[in-house]
Structure 1
Amino acid sequence: MIIRDLALNRFLETFQVKIEPVDELFSYYRCALMEVETKFKVLNEQFALLYDGNPIESIKTRIKSYDSILRKLKSKGFPLTLKSMEENVFDVAGVRVICSFEKDIYVLESYFLSQDDVVLVERKDYIKNPKKSGYRSLHLLIEIPIFLSTGKKMMKVEVQLRTIAMDFWASLEHKLRYHKDLTDEQLILLKDEMKTCATMCKELDQRMQYAKDEILGKEDNT
């Protein structure tokens, strides 16, 4: 709590604003997260009824930290204002949807984006086009309305869809990459090892998908 308060104080001092407008804007982001999370929970429930299975293993939501927002604005050279934050930092609100199988990701994406109140702003497919590090995930930047006492407000939310294997790799890679006191040699070795692990995770996803489609699929048809 003390660390959070210090970060909030730095944020308020840098932006030269009082806490009330900050609390108000961040409450809007939390409302947007609830809207998106509910949509995926409803889809998961519907899939359970129609197909006797849940494509979603878990849903995680987060609001970007005050310090991370400041670093991003400074690194991009944007003005340090709330208006600038809202216009230029698109991942303040983030939802991570962890799926069982790779095909589930694209099925969920299709149903999610077909909803008439979800507006796709940007799509980055790091599953079909992985990053050099080996990172794999489907990123959707969307706008979604929240309904306030004063009217409707459109809010941006970044949605990441991954398999369990993709999330496992990304979570551990992040912890290892930001480990303190690594030498240049260790960083190079770590980079190579992470690429190897990413290939193994991709192969695991492919084999699991094969098991579902070819082995279990044949049982369903008998």
Structure 2
Amino acid sequence: MNLFPMNQLKQFQNEITRFLMMYKFALDAMETKIEILVEEFQFLHEYNPIEHTKSRLKSPESILNKLYRKGGNVSFPSIREHIKDIAGLRITCSFVSDIYAIRDMLKSQGDLVIVDEKDYIKQPKPNGYQSLHLIVDVPVYMSDRQERVCVEIQIRTIAMDFWASLEHKIYYKFNQDKQGVPRRLLEELKEAAQAASALDRQMERLHKEIEEIKEDQISEDKLKRIIINNQQFALPQALLELIDPGNDPSHK
């Protein structure tokens, strides 16, 4: 026998669907922002700082389980107050410097608010885990109102992401009971995290050296052309004269 009248069940379904849609729209907005920032970064630095992104929404069951652990009451306001990672976005970068560049670009967005920041790169977790975690307050425009929604953003390098993925698989084999993992494996995991960090530093150094070589080899002709959306434009002489000190009245 159905304990809930159909109209009440339908109304509740609409409410929870709309509630989760807010977080989905927040993820969409963040992914669009990041696409724009990356395209601008590509023009300025001639490489893409982001290897890939991955987004996810917590399921209603996962939300409730976390709410119970935090001691919150079952209501939409309580969920919003206690759970800040219903919407999650993971950004995987090429280099450590890219992580902080993306963080700074997000901070410069006037409509975003960085609610919390945890830097596990400068201060890794005891097991060796490294990543930059941000809780970002995002405006979402619904049909009848504007909402502010939190999105958790994790930014890490390829090496950090590879290590975290393997660590998760190892713990999964032990039913996520870290107490059951042999001490030797935990020590090796930490050593692997340190090796991944050393690899990140080495690759960043090589990248900087290559960029310096490219900068030395750049030609004047290349600086007189711009490329936007795969279209190449030559800069007219009249525009180039704007940077000619000889045309500056203050130099006469």
Report the TM range for the smaller structure's normalisation: 0.7 to 0.9
- Which residue does the alignment assign to 2:104? 110
Counterpart in 1 of 2:148? 154
Letter in 2 for 1:155: V
Instruction: Report the number of matched residues.
Output: 206
Other structure's SS at 1:57 match = strand
What residue number does 1:188 align with? Answer: 183
* Contact 2:139-2:149 at 8 Å conserved across structures: yes
Aligned-pair identity (%): 41
Question: RMSD of the alignment, in Å?
Answer: 1.8
Which residue is equivalent to 1:211? 206
Q: 1:66 to 1:53 in 2, by over 3 A?
A: same
Q: Which residue of 2 aligns with 1:83?
A: 77
**Matched residue of 1:18: which SS?**
helix
Cα 1:85–1:207 shift into 2, 3 Å = same
Aligned: 1:198 with 2:200 = no
Aligned residue for 2:188, secondary structure, equals helix
Q: Which residue of 2 aligns with 1:42?
A: 36
The aligned counterpart of 2:120 is: 126
Any residues of structure 2 matched to 1:64-103 within 5 Å, and which? 64-103=58-97
Task: Structure 2: state its 5+ residue gaps.
Answer: 1-10, 218-252
* Cα deviation code 1:8-37 (max 9, x no counterpart): xxxxxxxxx832211010000000000011
Judge which range, 203-212 or 62-71, deviates more: 62-71
Query: Cα deviations across residues 177-216 of structure 1 (Å, max 9, x unaligned)?
Result: 1214689664323221210110010001000001011244
Identify if the C-alpha distance between structure 1 residues 115 and 186 changes in structure 2 by more than 3 Å, giving closer, same or farther.
closer
- CA distance in 2 between partners of 1:197 and 1:68 (Å): 31
TM-score by length of 2: 0.77
Evaluate the alpha carbon distance shift between residue 218 and residue 76 of structure 1 in structure 2; reply closer, same or farther with a 3 A threshold.
same
**Structure 1 outlier segments of 4+, above 3 Å:** 180-187
1:151: how far off? 2.1
Shift of 1:48: 1.3
Report which structure shows greater RCO (CA 8 Å, sep ≥6).
Answer: 1
Matched, 1:60 2:54: yes
For 2:150 and 2:214, locate their aligned partners in 1 and report how far apart those are by CA, in whole Å. 43
| Amino acid in structure 2 at the alignment position of 1:187 | P
Distance in 1 between residues matched to 2:212 and 2:173, nearest whole Å: 43
Show structure 1 runs of 5+ residues with no match.
Answer: 1-16
Partner of 1:145: 139
Q: What secondary structure does 2:187 align onto? A: helix
Larger radius of gyration: 2
* Structure 2 letter corresponding to 1:165: A
- Equivalent AA in structure 2 for residue 206 of structure 1: R
Q: Please give the alpha-carbon distance, in whole angstroms, between the structure 2 residues aligned to 1:19 and 1:64.
A: 16
